[in-house]
Amino acid sequence: MPIVPEPIPVTRPPRRGGGCLIAAGLILGPIIGLVFGEVSIGLVAGGVIGVIAAVVMTVRDGR
């Protein structure tokens, strides 16, 4: 029978995922852009804002 090592205990909580912020930006950006008549700019802006928010969340979670 093979020897299975014991799992290493987790000393800190798991990291949060920021992908939901990117997805929310890509969904809400065009909707807000539709109000101003610039859907494509809304998509790009929403994506950029979502990526920035995800990076900020990742950096803050690392501390």
Express each pLDDT in 24-63 by its tens digit: 999 999 999 999 999 999 999 999 999 999 999 988 877 6
Give domain status of residue 45, yes or no.
yes
Give domain status of residue 40, yes or no.
yes
Q: What is the pLDDT of residue 14?
A: 67
φ/ψ region of 57 (left if φ > 0, alpha if ψ in -120 to 50, else beta) reads alpha
Give domain status of residue 51, yes or no.
yes
Give domain status of residue 3, yes or no.
no
pTM > 0.75: no
Give domain status of residue 23, yes or no.
yes
How many independent structural domains does the chain possess? 1
Where residue 16 falls among pLDDT bands split at 50, 70, 90?
Answer: confident
Give domain status of residue 55, yes or no.
yes
Q: What is the pLDDT of residue 54?
A: 92
Give domain status of residue 7, yes or no.
no
Give domain status of residue 4, yes or no.
no
Q: What is the pLDDT of residue 46?
A: 96
